[in-house]
Structure 1
Amino acid sequence: MAGLNCGVTRALLGVLLLGAARLPRGAEASEIALPPGSGITVLIKPGTPTLPVKPCYIIFSKKPTTMLFIKSGERKAFSFSCQNPENHFIVEIQKNIDCMSGPCPFGEVHLQPPASMLPTLNRTFTWDVQAHKSIGLELQFSTPRLRQIGPGDSCPDGVTHSISGRIDATAVRIGTFCSNGTVSRIKMQGGVQMALHLPWFHNRNISGFSIANRSSIKRLCIIESVFEGEGSATLMSANYPDGFPEDELMTWQFVIPAHLRASVSFLHFNVSNCEKKEERVEYYIPGSTTNPEVFRLADKQPGNMAGSFNLSLQGCDQDAQNPGILRLKFQVLVQHPQNESNVTYVVDLSNERAMSLTIEPRPIKLSRKFVPGCFVCLESRICSTNLTLTHGSKHKITFLCNDLTRLWMNAEKTISCMDHRYCHRKSYFLQVPRDILQLPVQLHDFSWKLLVPKDRLSLALVPAQKLQQHTQERICNTSFSYLVASTGPGQDLYFGSFCSGGSIEKIQVKQNMSVTLRTFAPSFQQEVSRQGLTVSFTPYFKEEGVFTVTPDTKSKVYLRTPNWERGLPSLSSVSWNISVPHDQVACLTFTKEQTGLVCQTGRAFMIVQEQRTRAEEIFSLEEVLPKPGFRHHSFWVNISNCSPLSGKQLDLLFQVSLTPRTVDLTIVLIAVVGGGALLLFALGLVICLVKKNRKKKINKGPAVGIYNGNINTQMPMQPKKLQKVRKDSESHVYAVIDDTMVYGHLLQDSNGSFVQPETDTYRPFQGPTGDCPPSPPPTCSRAPTAKLTTEEPSPGCSPESESEPYTFSHPKMENGSNENTDIPLLDAPKPAEPGE
């Protein structure tokens, strides 16, 4: 029987153990007992669920509830109705420490109750220490020290420390901190509240800090930051990002080894509206003869400081109606001194005008590892990551940087001349000052802003060596290049990037111009000494730009229109003056057949004009571009844009290549002999005509003009082609070109005086010479136009007929032409063949 009873007992115990093992974790009973007089309270309350979940309850005294409060001296047992109570509830443990009525329990702070006695919930331990405002309390943090984080940031392990102080009855948030930082102590004036948040899965069982008594610190707080080697710390003012308390003082103490250097950078700050005093920061630097060193928040902050120092933020009495916000976020960077730290560079800008130089970090990818900072120090103490030097003074600078390639320089100089009488033909040489080139930092950009009086002067840029335009077909491989642009009201026109070793001799710009020297390699200093730009003020012209090009006989020249990425601006015109040697022939080739341009207003034209013969060709840029053609003389290429439809743009790329001129000797001999014979024949013909004319004048009377008012002037099958454009009383008056006029009495008026007949005279186009680009045709209308007769005045913009070809060539007639100018330009009858 005893053995049977023993077997039954073992079986029953196994069932009970199996049932206990299968019991839900939340259903396990927990018990919390708080000693009397400990000043500890525990509150279990609902947390913020991250996802919609099934409801869960606290089971206390066999009753479900959502909140359980346990006071000092109480013992309560409870359980949860769900398996994952950490998703539903949090527990808050608060301990009140009274230092007003008795001595404070200084020393290491323990977690009470221990974490093992608490349910596996997110826990927040809070210690509220009440002390007199004349008493200073010190929170000491053991290793690892604390690192301050900003609002919205979180700690990697989920463990955070929140510290607050008091000003009378108002709580002041000192900051939120994570582990693994530099903050070792925080000293508070009066009471302090320390909160430690532990996630439910963290098994930490120590608080990590202790409380000590200090004498009055006579300020809101002091934060001590200890550096044992290179590193950085980011710190914030109290209540950040909200306003710093009015007229308060806060101090940071930085403990740094003497062989290291520290620099301060303000990352973000705001100032309030002060009625009394002035908001400022004060530095106490051991060994300095000017302690404390006072700076405004907007000033460059000290750097390259050896050893420990203090930084204090002082508020002011704020305007009650509009107080504003005082806040500060800054970084302290500690690193080893570099070789450049002991070298002082002098930048003399005392003789410069309207010039500035900025030294700043070049863009780099961010890294999570500690990267020593790069600082530029003025007079070896005022250090920052960005430093701007202005004209009119000498500047002494040093560098606190482990790698100077992480910095670069950008400079800007303005050259202006607003009096066109004084500026005319005046020139300037664009050159980088030597004091800038001797700095151990790469020059990135040096920009010259050239300003001229509006509609009075233009600018001409002449390089010491001819320039090449950067294109995909011919890339600039030099260590520097020039970026040229014009700057006008509401419109910036980028002409392109140019480097030495090309065919461009001059760039002329209508209005204000910007020239930027951009470098790509340190070797530019040797190359730039052989290159230079001279800018001069020239008479005003209306085109956006004019390029003077002398092609090289050994290579092709690639040229493209300005604003390559965005297209040539609407209703703008650009010209290229291309020189062709007398023993060469130029081939003009466009890289595409069509531009794809669709004009909304006006016409887009290209004019190609040879400067010697003055023959010009006009092409519509909305149609097919011309095939490759040869030019035997220097010529102009003028491109004029219309107002294109949205999304359309005008961008053209063309090339010019030279080939030797080849002439057959036989053809030359035949041309010489034939030309001589033709000249003799022409002389004989002229002599005969002169003799015959004299004989007629001797034998005959004066030439007679016959007037017949009944003749029909309309051509057959063309009614109303010629309309009346003169007074009715003066119609059908013919002018006969001869020595005398017969029947002159028909031209007398009632008073007997002669009335001069109106005559039409065709004036040949006096085209531009080689110094001026061709004038583009009118481009301000899309409507079809009729050709103008000599009797019709030309309107401001004459549109083209839709039925006519846009491409044509016409040589200019020279002055003194003997052609008959009385025939209208349109519908003129063909000249009669000899003998008819």
Structure 2
Amino acid sequence: MAAGKPCYIMIYSKRFTELLIRAGETKAFSFSCYNPENHFVVEIQKSIDCMSGLCPFGEVQLEPPTSVLPTLNRTFIWDVKAHKRIGLELQFSHPRLRQIGPRESCPDGVTHSISGRIDATEVRIGTFCSNGTVSRIKMQEGVKMALHLPWFLHRNTSGFSIANRSSIKRLCIIESVFEGEGSATLMSANYPEGFPEDELMTWQFVIPAPLRASVSFLDFNVSNCEKKEERVEYYIPGSTTNPEVFKLEDKQPGNMAGNFNLSLQGCDQDVQNPGILRLRFQVLVQHPQNESNTTYKVDLSKERDMSVTIEPRPVRLSRKFTPGCFVCLDSRSCSTNVTLASGSKHKISFLCDDLTRLWMNAEKTLSCLDHRYCLRKSYSLQVPRDLLQLPVQLHNFSWKLLVPKDSLSLALVPAQKLQQHTQERPCNTSFSYSMASTVPGKNLYFGSFCSGGSIEQIQMKQNISVTLRTFAPNFQQDLSRQDLTVSFIPHFKEDSVFMVTPDKKNKVYLRTPNWDRGLPSLSSVSWNISVPRDQVACLTFLKERTGLVCQTGRAYMIIQEQRTHAEEIFSLEEEVLPKPTFRHHSFWVNISNCSPVSGKQLDLLFWVTLTPRTVDLNVLIIAVVGGGALLLFALGLIICCVKKKKKNINKGLTVGIYNNNINTQMPMQPNKFQKGRKDNESHVYDVIEDTMVYGHLLQNSNGSFHQPEVDTYRPFQGPMEDCPPSPPPICSRAPTKKLATDEPSPDVPPESESEPYTFSHPSQKDGSNENTSIPLLSVQEPEKSAK
């Protein structure tokens, strides 16, 4: 028949969908299709009553034999009823059984479904396949066994036998025998539904002498108990505290030598809300390892707000047996992963054939609750030594740094300058630091950094996480030379500020945070680039345009030299990014983002290179020649003035007054010199030349003055400014304005290079002959002219 059409059982041209044949009956039938195995299954049910008579103990036969049955999927069912005080035992010859979950299937199609009985209630013990470790199952008060055989398998034996046993006083006992290394996964009765209320179930494990066994719970639930307590009990050879009682949430025993028992005990459940008790666990049997006899002490008693987890690395699953890796506390409580809490001391041993299959992750929180106490305090971000002496690799160590909102910010200072990981210059070290914001809704990843760069300090606005990530086993040697210190500093508005001192030999590559996803909306980041006095910095951007389209607000980049305060403002949405430019002084680069439209992002990459500062030879020659000519002119002028002074000294009393109380600082300007003029002696003169006193007489015919040079300009060598340039308002639509580097700020008066001296004539008040001035030269009577 065509596929998809119904198939029927035909008896004398009559069609049936099912057929029941009782004992002693004979019926002839056929099928209306060519593939009846896809439509029908034959069930052979046999009831055995051990309450009214003797049980047919021994090997169970397949009756009728499979050879006389149609080639259909066959299911043999044996239902054995027994008294409550009678125990029945199912014995399985080779191959032994392997328990499977409710959604699993057997590779060869042969399935054993075993159930027990509590009064009139049937309890499912489990479903099993071939090629496992289960050798016997003991039950009380009867058993129901169903053997499913596929239609293509020619098998004439059941593979099990029934034996009589004394009362076991529990629901069932499952025996699991190991002949070598291996593992077994077993489940509680009725799994994944609830274990029967107030019942007891036991597993017996037979372990060869040279091997060790470890138990780990894969999945479990506990019910709501009114009386007693749900628990597991172990009978372990050599234990002085048998039975050893554990809660289901406890770490289970490991590294056990010899046979042992594991029992699951239920409780009296709450009638209104009983809950579900269930358990799925694994027993791993393997050879003892060298590390199993070594104990490591980890002292975390002085640590606070820290947790350490030792767990397996992610690996690909393999069908071959793989010995397990267990971490044991106090040599008996073992698990595939262990979490160590701060404030305590721990003893650890390992049951693992290859410790590289394990790694360690840790997390610590440093928080500031009172900004008055935390301000200016520093803490070292170091891994505790006890963790580094463990024989497993440290994968991640994360520090969560928390500060009061709008009160404090964070500054990270490395012992060795850091390099930002970029595609142009990737980190090739054994460890690195990853930094990201932990503020809810602030998806800001600052980047990955390693030692060997030019970043001296990183300042973060709010809460962040710093994660030390290792890549090579030798990271411990490199880590000893690296230290990261965090300080609590006054709050600032930038999301992050990077202090950079470029290397004279290498390019310094820098990129905006969130490189893969783009700088978050309305975020701002600054770089403080220090340029040595004998160097010139070249600033280069990777792209000509950002391709940014703003939905709200504007995106700007500001480049500001710290010495001249000249700002160059660029619209990142409209303008072309600057070509490579040379910077002779330290400068700021500030980038502020808008709210971009969907699909657009702001990501900028730039680099800084240093070259030695050179002086133009032509300019130097002109300056020398010009300076010499000016010197000769000044000497001649002084001689002329002295002669003229001697001729006109009798024309009146003119005294030069030096006033040292004059304010030498420009208004509204910060003091840029480390040492003020009142603190040094550059304004003190032993002798004041006549030309200084009578400078007003040097006026030439066209009314201009020849003023002598009274001071020499020296380049500023003091500290650079700390604050980054303030960006324009984000939502401003004002046109972009560029200022030349040599153009002063419009609201700052120009600095004067002349010395602040005051020259005046002495004056007398009317009716008074008192002289209030301080003469600097002796007064001589004028000579009378010869007649």
* Structure 2 contact 744–750 (Cα < 8 Å) conserved: no
The separation in 1 between residues aligned to 2:526 and 2:203, in whole angstroms, is 65
SS at match of 2:202: strand
* Structure 1 contact 620–806 (Cα < 8 Å) conserved: no
Q: Does 1:151 align with 2:102?
A: yes
Q: Does 1:654 align with 2:587?
A: no
What's 1:235 paired with?
A: 186
* Structure 1 contact 618–808 (Cα < 8 Å) conserved: no
The separation in 1 between residues aligned to 2:447 and 2:537, in whole angstroms, is 24
Q: Does 1:223 align with 2:174?
A: yes
What's 2:34 paired with?
A: 83
Q: CA deviation at 1:71?
A: 1.3
CA shift digits 1:390-419 (9 cap, x unpaired): 111110000000110000001111112221
CA shift digits 1:364-403 (9 cap, x unpaired): 1111111111000000011011101011111000000011
Q: CA deviation at 1:54?
A: 3.0
Q: Does 1:503 align with 2:457?
A: no
Out of 206-215 and 250-259, give the one that drifted further: 250-259
What's 1:643 paired with?
A: 595
Q: TM-score, normalised by structure 1?
A: 0.77
CA 1:295–1:193: 2 relative to 1, 3 Å: same
Q: Does 1:318 align with 2:252?
A: no
What's 1:405 paired with?
A: 356
CA shift digits 1:53-79 (9 cap, x unpaired): 333333335644332222122222333
Q: CA deviation at 1:624?
A: 1.4
What's 1:744 paired with?
A: none
The separation in 1 between residues aligned to 2:170 and 2:751, in whole angstroms, is 104
Out of 219-228 and 444-453, give the one that drifted further: 444-453
What's 1:603 paired with?
A: 554
SS at match of 1:86: helix
* 1:134-533 to 2 correspondences below 5 Å: 134-533=85-484
CA 1:807–1:518: 2 relative to 1, 3 Å: same
Identity of paired residues, percent? 81
Q: CA deviation at 1:673?
A: 5.6
Q: CA deviation at 1:813?
A: 5.3
What's 1:812 paired with?
A: 745
CA 1:678–1:572: 2 relative to 1, 3 Å: farther
* 1:753-792 to 2 correspondences below 5 Å: 770-781=721-732
SS at match of 1:70: coil
Q: CA deviation at 1:145?
A: 0.2
What's 1:831 paired with?
A: none
Letter aligned with residue 668 of structure 1: L
What's 2:687 paired with?
A: none
Q: Does 1:540 align with 2:474?
A: no
* Structure 2 contact 569–737 (Cα < 8 Å) conserved: no
Q: CA deviation at 1:358?
A: 0.6
Letter aligned with residue 70 of structure 2: P
CA 1:136–1:678: 2 relative to 1, 3 Å: farther
SS at match of 1:77: coil
Matched residues, number: 667
Letter aligned with residue 394 of structure 2: L
Letter aligned with residue 800 of structure 1: A
CA 1:183–1:415: 2 relative to 1, 3 Å: same
SS at match of 2:531: coil
The separation in 2 between residues aligned to 1:554 and 1:176, in whole angstroms, is 71
What's 1:628 paired with?
A: 580
Q: CA deviation at 1:671?
A: 3.4
* Structure 1 contact 108–209 (Cα < 8 Å) conserved: yes
What's 1:98 paired with?
A: 49
SS at match of 2:241: coil
SS at match of 2:233: strand
* 1:545-560 to 2 correspondences below 5 Å: 545-560=496-511
Letter aligned with residue 438 of structure 2: T
Q: CA deviation at 1:564?
A: 1.0
SS at match of 1:568: coil
Q: CA deviation at 1:447?
A: 1.1
CA 1:231–1:93: 2 relative to 1, 3 Å: same
What's 2:616 paired with?
A: 664
* Structure 2 contact 443–520 (Cα < 8 Å) conserved: no
What's 1:800 paired with?
A: 734
Q: CA deviation at 1:676?
A: 8.6
Q: CA deviation at 1:83?
A: 2.6
What's 1:53 paired with?
A: 4
CA shift digits 1:748-803 (9 cap, x unpaired): xxxxxxxxxxxxxxxxxxxx96211111111124xxxxxxxxxxxxxxxxx314xx
Q: CA deviation at 1:674?
A: 4.7
* Structure 2 contact 461–493 (Cα < 8 Å) conserved: yes
CA shift digits 1:706-764 (9 cap, x unpaired): xxxxxxxxxxxxxxxxxxxxxxxxxxxxxxxxxxxxxxxxxxxxxxxxxxxxxxxxxxx
Letter aligned with residue 638 of structure 1: N
CA shift digits 1:535-562 (9 cap, x unpaired): 1111111101111101011110000011
Out of 93, 108, 114, the position equivalent to 2:65 is 114
The separation in 2 between residues aligned to 1:388 and 1:676, in whole angstroms, is 81
Q: CA deviation at 1:261?
A: 0.9
* Structure 2 contact 100–127 (Cα < 8 Å) conserved: yes
CA shift digits 1:340-367 (9 cap, x unpaired): 0000010111111111111001111111
CA 1:513–1:79: 2 relative to 1, 3 Å: closer
What's 1:129 paired with?
A: 80
The separation in 2 between residues aligned to 1:401 and 1:288, in whole angstroms, is 23
The separation in 2 between residues aligned to 1:271 and 1:543, in whole angstroms, is 51
The separation in 1 between residues aligned to 2:440 and 2:38, in whole angstroms, is 63
Letter aligned with residue 331 of structure 1: Q
The separation in 1 between residues aligned to 2:55 and 2:153, in whole angstroms, is 30
Q: CA deviation at 1:672?
A: 5.6
Letter aligned with residue 778 of structure 1: P
The separation in 2 between residues aligned to 1:672 and 1:389, in whole angstroms, is 75
The separation in 2 between residues aligned to 1:611 and 1:305, in whole angstroms, is 70
The separation in 1 between residues aligned to 2:318 and 2:80, in whole angstroms, is 41
Letter aligned with residue 187 of structure 1: K
The separation in 1 between residues aligned to 2:163 and 2:153, in whole angstroms, is 27
Q: CA deviation at 1:665?
A: 3.3
The separation in 1 between residues aligned to 2:471 and 2:381, in whole angstroms, is 19
Q: CA deviation at 1:567?
A: 1.3
Which runs of 5 or more residues in structure 2 are unaligned? Answer: 642-718, 753-787
The separation in 2 between residues aligned to 1:177 and 1:800, in whole angstroms, is 78
Q: CA deviation at 1:612?
A: 1.0
Q: TM-score, normalised by structure 2?
A: 0.82
The separation in 2 between residues aligned to 1:677 and 1:173, in whole angstroms, is 114
The separation in 1 between residues aligned to 2:407 and 2:65, in whole angstroms, is 87
The separation in 2 between residues aligned to 1:672 and 1:569, in whole angstroms, is 55
Q: CA deviation at 1:565?
A: 1.4
